[in-house]
Structure 1
């Protein structure tokens, strides 16, 4: 069963349930209000009869002219004694007279139904000298009310059937209009599945602000993002293959050279071994960077621990100061001795190593690291006074495998994955990273991280 048919049926069933309860309430109120009106009329008539002082004037029952003026068609008047016998009785409906007399010491109303319709009895005690001496019973046949109620039931049933038919027809056409965009969505998705190409769902120019248009816009944005990710993935694979091919080709060439000629030539053997070791190290670094880049694509802040940033920065700078034999200076705002924050300290250390290593590669002067806090945001600046990066290259420095001609080359700049890894680390910690640079002046990497990564 299609979703459109299910919705049509459920809407129709829901409408029928609503109509059933509504019409039941209407019918109940119609009977209640009508019978209450009749009961009030009979009570008023009983009060008028009691004013005639019936116990002291039994002649009223013998002279019908006295009582017939209050008797209407399909009605009965009874005067019942305490022994439940009918002392006096007049009626215009023989069916009412067939009902047994019931004596009661209090006023009652009884509503009955038989083959002729609805029967109503109103009983009122008759007093003489403060003592009940009889019971006045007035009965009325509400045949016309029964006819009206049957007519009302017929109208309600016909109305329900008509509403059901209209609901089915209207629901079918409405769901057809409602599901038309969904059919387009399904057709587009099937086309994408069959062709393997990314396509947008065609949306009307005058877009209505409803859920279907939101779904279409979201789908198109998702397709754009998938297409961009697919393009980047293809570019990543192509760049990774190219980067891996170069060291592997060099290693293969020197290995072949060793096999053929290096056994009798010490200088050639030394050169080949040095090249193989160098390219193997480059290949290992590239593999590690690729693994790091893959790991950074996981969920944000996997290791959300509290650590002190100031000692972490100082220890990292001290390690690189020893390995590079260069001057690296760390400065903090107001000479802070500690700066607690949450996140992954291992990845923050990796981020610092990447930024400081870049500053050391492209500068021969001192490298400055400055730390400050603004509105619960930690700002880390890594500044060098090196060769800088051209303005046209700045928008691409965080792309994978990107190396500018002036600022990077393979031997000096590595595989071009460092800043891409740094950007992913910062994004995982819900921060931002920016690179400012001018040719011949130097570069400044600005990292902004929240003190609490959530």
Structure 2
């Protein structure tokens, strides 16, 4: 069963339930209000008869002129003795007389549904000298009320049937209008599935702030993002293939050279072996960077532990200071000795190595690292005084395998993945990485991280 049919049926069933209870209430109130008015009229008539002192004037029943003035069509008056016998009665409707008389000591009302209509009986005790001596019963055939009630039932039933038909027809056309955008969504998705190309859902020119419009807008944004990710993936594969091809080509060329000529030439053999070792190291570094870049897509703060940032920065700077024989200075705000924070200390160390290594590659002067804390946000600044980056290259500097002509080239040993990895590490720690640079004046990498990573 289609969703459209389900909605139509459920709406119709819900409408019928509402109509059933509504019409039942209307019918009940109609009967109740009408019969209550009739009961009040009969009670008033019984009070008027009791004022005639019926126990002391039995002649009233023999001389009908006294009673006929109170008797109307489709009505009955009878006087019941304690032995449940009818002492006197007058009537204008035979269906009322057919019901047996019953003596009681309390006033009561009965409403009986009969084939001839709705019968109403009101009974009132008759007292003489403070003692009940009889029961006055007044009956009325509410035949007109029965006709009206049947008419009301017919109207309510016809109204319910009409409402059901309108609900089914209206629900069918309404769901057609409602599901038309969904059909477009399905058709667009099927086209994407069959053709393998990304497509947008056509949205109406008039903007509506409803769920379907938001669904369509969200779907189009998702398609844009998937298309961008697919484009970047294709670019990533192409760039990775290119980066891998270069060292592999060099290794293959020197290996062929070794096999053909280097066995008798020591200098050529040494040159080939050195080139193979160098390119193998470059290939290993590139592979490690690719694995690191893939690993950054895991959950945020996967290895969330508490650590002290100050010693971590100082130890990392000290290690690079020894291996590169370069001056690296570490300064902290207000000479802080410790700065506790949470996150992945291994990745923070990797982030520092990437930023410091970039600063060392493109600068021959001192590299400065500054640490500050403000409102539970840690700021790390890695500053160099090197060649800098051109302004037109800054928007692309975090793209994978991107190298600017002036700031990044192969002889510096980079594959164009360092800053991309650094940016992913920062995003995993819910922070922000910004690179400020001026050509010929140096660069500053500014990392902002929350003191506590969730």
Q: TM-score, normalised by structure 1?
A: 0.98
Is 1:160 aligned to 2:156, yes or no? no
Give unmatched runs, 5+ long, in structure 1: none
The DSSP-based 3-state class of the residue aligned with 1:372 is strand
- Contact 1:341 1:452 (C-alpha < 8 Å) held by counterparts: yes
| Equivalent pair of 1:304/1:344 in contact (CA under 8 Å) | yes
- Alpha-carbon distance in structure 2 between the residues aligned to 1:342 and 1:33: 75
Separation in structure 1 between the aligned mates of residue 43 and residue 327 of structure 2, nearest angstrom: 112
- Which digits, 9 at most, give the CA deviation of each residue in 1:379-431, with x for residues without a partner? 11000111111111111110000011111111214100000000111111111
Residue deviations 1:346-395, cap 9 Å, x none?
Answer: 11111111001111111111111111112221111000111111111111
Q: Are the equivalent residues in 1 in contact too, given 2:282–2:413 (CA < 8 A)?
A: no
CA distance, structure 2, for counterparts of residue 368 and residue 142 of structure 1: 105
Query: Which position in structure 2 is the counterpart of 1:98?
Result: 98
List aligned pairs for 1:12-411, cutoff 5 A.
12-411=12-411
* Distance in 2 of aligned mates of 1:46 and 1:69: 13
Measure how far apart 1:108 and its partner are.
Answer: 0.8
Number of equivalent positions: 454
Please give the alpha-carbon distance, in whole angstroms, between the structure 2 residues aligned to 1:446 and 1:144.
92
> What per-residue deviation string (whole Å, max 9, x for no partner) do you get for residues 228-268 of structure 1?
00000000000000000000111111111111111111111
Contact 1:403–1:413 (8 Å) recurs in 2: no
Distance 1:272 1:112 in 2: 117
Distance in 2 between residues matched to 1:414 and 1:170, nearest whole Å: 67
Q: Give the C-alpha shift of residue 62 in structure 1.
A: 1.1
Mapped contact 1:435–1:443 kept (Cα < 8 A):
yes
Does the 8 Å contact 2:302/2:344 carry over to 1? yes
Q: What is the distance in 1 between the residues matched to 2:132 and 2:373? A: 99
Are 1:414 and 2:414 counterparts?
A: yes
Name the CA distance, whole Å, in 1 between partners of 2:430 and 2:44: 84
SS of the residue corresponding to residue 16 of structure 1 reads helix
CA positional deviation for 1:304: 2.1
In the alignment, the residues of structure 2 paired with residue 73 and residue 301 of structure 1 have an alpha-carbon distance, to the nearest angstrom, of 93
Contact residue 111 and residue 121 of structure 1 kept, 8 A:
yes
- Aligned partners of 1:358, 1:95: CA distance in 2, in Å? 111
Name the TM-score, length of structure 2 as normaliser.
0.98
Question: Hey, what does 2:436 align to over in structure 1?
Answer: 436
Q: Mark the runs of 5 or more structure 2 residues left unpaired by the alignment.
A: none
CA distance in structure 2 between the partners assigned to 1:304 and 1:242 by the alignment:
36
Q: How many Å separate the matches in 2 of 1:82 and 1:378? A: 102
Cα distance in 2, alignment partners of residues 103 and 319 from structure 1: 115
What CA distance in whole angstroms lies between the structure 1 residues aligned with 2:413 and 2:275? 18
CA distance in 1, matches of 2:308, 2:28: 77
Q: Deviations over 1:177-208 (max 9, x none)?
A: 11111111111111111111111111111111
Match of 1:179, SS? helix
Q: Distance in 1 between matches of 2:303 and 2:81?
A: 97
Residues 252-303 of structure 1: CA distance to partner in whole angstroms, max 9, x if unpaired?
1111111111111111111111111111110000000000000101222212
Matched position secondary structure for 2:83: coil
Could you say what secondary structure the match of 2:222 adopts? Answer: helix
CA–CA distance in 1 between the matches of 2:319 and 2:70? 118
Alpha-carbon separation, structure 1, partners of 2:57 and 2:302:
103
Q: Tell me, in whole angstroms, the C-alpha distance in 1 between the residues paired with 2:301 and 2:3.
A: 41
Deviation at 1:98, TM superposition (A): 1.3
Partners of 1:133 and 1:2 lie apart in 2 by: 74
Secondary structure, aligned partner of 1:141: strand
Deviating above 4 A after TM superposition, structure 1's stretches of 4 or more consecutive aligned residues are none
